[in-house]
């Protein structure tokens, strides 16, 4: 079977005289395996905390990822590394994001909080 993943994206901005709109529609992506995992991760300030993924995941087969900050207080940063955490994105309370992780770079996805202990909901598919 092909095209098991469908991604829909749109962005519309209207603020005073600033207007911007991108509605590229949807894309379909083939998922070669059946490996996916997700859950929730309570975050804290300081070092990055690795997301819990089953052993079948390798750091080079990560594919599409969904992230959501389920909390009402505290930003969540998502990145790589634990003791030397390097964030590549940030979610404010209630925000979501879908992105494709780089499968050619071995990495462990980690997260931390800018304040408090917000909860990250995540789901990652291996491609």
Let me know if residue 93 belongs to a domain: yes
The 3-state secondary structure of 36-89 reads EEEEEEECCCCCCEECCCCCCCCCCCEEEEEEEECCCCCCEEEEECCCCCEEEE
Let me know if residue 13 belongs to a domain: no
pLDDT tens string 40-81: 999 999 989 988 877 777 666 778 899 999 999 999 999 988
Question: How high is the pLDDT of residue 71?
Answer: 96
Let me know if residue 77 belongs to a domain: yes
What distances in angstroms separate CA 14 from CA 21, 29, 40, 94, one per listed residue?
9, 31, 33, 20
| CATH number for position 80 | 2.60.120.10
User: Does residue 5 sit in helix, strand or coil?
Assistant: strand
Let me know if residue 118 belongs to a domain: yes
111 pLDDT band, cuts 50/70/90, is very high
Domain count, the chain: 1
Let me know if residue 17 belongs to a domain: no
State which residues form the domain around 109: 31-126
User: Does residue 116 sit in helix, strand or coil?
Assistant: coil
Of the chain, the end-to-end C-alpha distance in Å amounts to 14
Let me know if residue 6 belongs to a domain: no
Q: Please, are residues 95 and 73 in contact by the beta-carbon 8 Å criterion?
A: no
Residue 127 has pLDDT above 90, yes or no: no
Q: Is the dihedral of CA 90, 7, 60, 49 positive or negative?
A: positive
């Amino acid at each position: 079977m092909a095209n098991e993943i469908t991604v829909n994206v749109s962005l519309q901005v209207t603020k005073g005289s600033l207007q911007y709109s991108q509605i590229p529609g949807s894309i379909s992506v083939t998922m070669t395996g059946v490996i996916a995992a997700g859950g929730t991760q309570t975050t804290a300030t300081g070092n990055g905390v690795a997301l819990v993924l089953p052993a079948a995941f390798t750091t080079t087969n990560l594919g599409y990822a969904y992230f959501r900050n389920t909390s009402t207080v505290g930003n969540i940063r998502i990145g790589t590394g634990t003791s030397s955490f390097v964030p590549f994105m940030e979610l404010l309370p209630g925000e979501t994001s879908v992105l494709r992780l780089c499968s050619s770079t071995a990495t462990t996805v980690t997260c931390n909080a800018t304040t408090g202990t917000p909860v990250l909901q995540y789901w990652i598919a291996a491609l």
